[in-house]
Amino acid sequence: KPRVEDMFQNVLSQVAEQFSRAFRINELKTEVTNRLAMLEKRVELEGLKVVEIEKCKNDLKKLRDEMMSRAEGRVNCPCKYNFSDDGKKLTPRCDVPSYPKYTLSQETTEALKKPTFDVWHWEHNEMLSCLEYMYHDLGLVKEFNMNPITLKRWLLGIQENYRSNPFHNFRHCFCVSQMMYGMIHLCNLKEKLTLTDLGILMTAAVCHDLDHPGYNNTYQINARTELAVRYNDISPLENHHCAVAFQILSLPECNKFAKVEPEAFKQIRQAIITLILATDMARHGEILDSFKHKVDNFDFTNEEHVTCLKMVLIKCCDISNEVWPTEVAEPWVDCLLEEYFMQSDREKSEGLPLAPFMDRDKVTKPTAQIGFIKFVLIPMFETVMKLFPQIEEIMVQPLRDSRDHYEELKQIDDAQKKKTENISLGGKKK
């Protein structure tokens, strides 16, 4: 009997051991399953890292290609911005700028001071040297305690951040800056404004169209580009020009205002932004009306008056091409129309609204210029003339002559068109 009990006890022990073993196996299975799940998660995460690394590699490749494209001078004007595209060219220059220092003749430095200066005969390096000269000549390098090498780097950074558009390019930047320099001398602004004001005017002129893509605000808004989204359809291009300008200045190697006190720089920054934003032609009527109300009792000690004047001055310089002699001004019309036609072609292909003055099927050079000169340029420059009568002969009269020139061309075009229509009608009657 005890032997039977022992056997039974032994069987129970074996059963208990089997249960225990089975339980441990289940525990082990659970543990293994959990560990496998963890490993799978890690593998998945590592896989995502690999994907991210590959994405980074692709992004880097695109960036290198873009930089190579720009270095080779190929035009790249994407219609839609990508937030990550900002600052692609904003790489600090650690080397000493290598563009040659041109010794400008007295004849050149005198010509630079006049609005009749021919901008078509100069290479980029020569334009950079001319801009550098302007800063020294106006006393801005001394006023802002600029490092001359930093000024060079800043100018190079500016040049590199203008695109190869038909119109909105570095040569246009130089034109506007040279016209501002010319107006400073012609209107004796050194006697009426502070050197800080002159520095703001020149810097805003140099920076006013930075990284312009060749497609205007209307396109940006209608196409819902990322620029329009970012700036809520409010002057998207001008806001972008400001942002790029201060991205360049944020680089220590390019910060020509590095030795300016923080509070003073804050005011300079705000003033530059105000001027660049004023170049949005959608605000033309508002700004000119404000100036008209001030001009008859203008007070150079009134900050609001001076700010309004500076806004009008940069507007004048920005759209001053017709002030130049015809042989200098007319090629700019061709450049602008080419850029307009590029935009209207894209708008047609994307099903966006077209501005009649940009449609290659409807626009001629005379029709493009007559209304602009009559209703925009002449009224604005004549208003400035009330404050600075000396601009009439050298700036306002050329605008009137240009208006007359294009009206004559339009008469010739109209006569030719009528003649062609009559011939066509005569052929049909036969």
Could you tell me the two tokens for 422? 């009559």
**Cβ neighbourhood burial of 356 (10 Å; 0-12, 13-18, 19+):** exposed
Q: Which of 121, 124, 136, 168 is catalytic?
A: 168
Instruction: Output the CA–CA distances (angstroms, integers) from residue 104 to 6, 111, 137, 178, in the order listed.
Output: 118, 11, 12, 15
Query: Is residue 121 annotated as involved in ligand binding?
Result: no
How wide is the angle at C-alpha 154 spanned by C-alphas 153 and 160, nearest 5°? 90
Residue 319 phi, psi dihedral angles, 5° rounding: -120, 35
369 is in an annotated binding site: yes
Asked if 212 is an active-site residue, the reply is no
Which residues have CB under 8 Å from 295's CB, separation 6+?
A: 383, 386, 387
Is 233 flagged in the annotation as binding? no
Specify the residue for token string 């000169």. Answer: 373
- What is the residue-wise DSSP string for 173-230? HHHHHHHHHHHHHHTTHHHHS-HHHHHHHHHHHHHTTTT--SS-HHHHHHTT-HHHHH
58 marked ligand binding residue: no
Annotated ligand binding at 359? The verdict is no
- In Å, how far are 237, 323, 383, 384, 403 from 396, measured between CA atoms? 29, 7, 10, 10, 11
The CB density around residue 281, as the number of other CB atoms within 10 Å, is 15
Closest CA to 116 of 399, 349, 311: 399
Taking CA atoms, 108 is separated from 114, 130, 320, 322, 398, in Å, by: 10, 9, 20, 21, 22
The answer to whether the beta carbons of residues 323 and 395 sit under 8 Å apart is yes
Residue 208, annotated as binding a ligand? yes
**Helix, strand, coil in percent for the chain, rounding step 5:** 75, 0, 25
The tokens describing 426, both together, are 């005569």
Question: Cα dist. 291→282, 284, 389 in Å?
Answer: 16, 11, 16
**168 marked among binding-site residues:** yes
Q: Specify whether the CB–CB gap between 309 and 401 falls below 8 A.
A: no
Helix axes 262-277, 303-318, angle to 10 degrees: 50
Contacts of 174 (CB under 8 A, 6+ apart): 119, 122, 127, 130, 131
> Residues at the annotated binding site for Zn(2+)?
172, 208-209, 318
List the catalytic residues.
Answer: 168
> Residues at the annotated binding site?
168-172, 208-209, 318, 369
